[in-house]
Structure 1
Amino acid sequence: MDSTLISQGLDLMLYGMGTVFTFLTLLVGVTTLMSKTVNKLVVEQPETAVSSVATVLVQSPVEPRIAKVIQAAIDQHRSKK
């Protein structure tokens, strides 16, 4: 076999793998930096469970009769398994 051909193949493989490794390392670093920056800029206000449930119940566009029919259908579907 021709040693230059094998040498060229190994060089190409190392350059390719090095490029992919460098790109992925850079991608992880930039993503981590962006995540930390966004977490510092955006302050999330915690929501209490009671207020969110009350909000959902008040703003529900579904009539209670329809909600009961939907719940019965879901229960029937789950009982078939």
Structure 2
Amino acid sequence: MNSSELIQEGLSLMAFGMGFVFVFLMILVFAMTGMSRLVMRFVPAPVKEEASRQAPPPVRSEDDVMAAISMAVHRYRQRHRR
């Protein structure tokens, strides 16, 4: 075999391999699309619940936040004494 025959055989093998992968991926896309449509047909869409009209959480002042942080630091230091 000379080099031109080897190159031609390599190119044909490459084309066959790429064609096989392309066909496999196309079959995979169609199968996934079909399964998705099948599932969407038999499984009902989730019902969205109406947002309950709750009062917004109370606004905390900076003093409350500082008190909570200092209490947390104090408890942490008590538990992790050396």
Q: Same fold (TM over 0.5)?
A: yes
Specify the code of the residue in structure 2 equivalent to 1:3.
Answer: S
Specify the code of the residue in structure 2 equivalent to 1:39.
Answer: M
CA RMSD in angstroms comes to 2.7
Q: Which residue of 1 aligns with 2:49?
A: 48
Q: Which residue of 1 aligns with 2:27?
A: 26
Is the radius of gyration larger for structure 1 or structure 2?
2
- Deviation of residue 46 (structure 1)? 1.4
State percent identity of aligned pairs.
43
- Deviation of residue 32 (structure 1)? 0.2
- Deviation of residue 25 (structure 1)? 0.3
| Runs of 4+ deviating beyond 2 Å | none
Instruction: State the distance in 1 between where 2:32 and 2:46 align.
Output: 24
Instruction: State the distance in 2 between where 1:26 and 1:45 align.
Output: 30
Specify the code of the residue in structure 2 equivalent to 1:29.
Answer: F
Whichever structure has more helix as a proportion of its residues is 1
Secondary structure of residue in 2 paired with 1:43: coil
Where does structure 2 lack aligned partners over 5 or more consecutive residues?
55-64, 70-82
Where does structure 1 lack aligned partners over 5 or more consecutive residues?
55-68, 74-81
Instruction: State the distance in 1 between where 2:36 and 2:26 align.
Output: 15
State the TM-score, normalized to the length of structure 1.
Answer: 0.58
Q: Which residue of 1 aligns with 2:79?
A: none
Q: Which residue of 1 aligns with 2:4?
A: 3
Specify the code of the residue in structure 2 equivalent to 1:9.
Answer: G
Instruction: State the distance in 2 between where 1:45 and 1:11 align.
Output: 51
Give 1:35-74 correspondences, 5 Å limit.
35-50=36-51
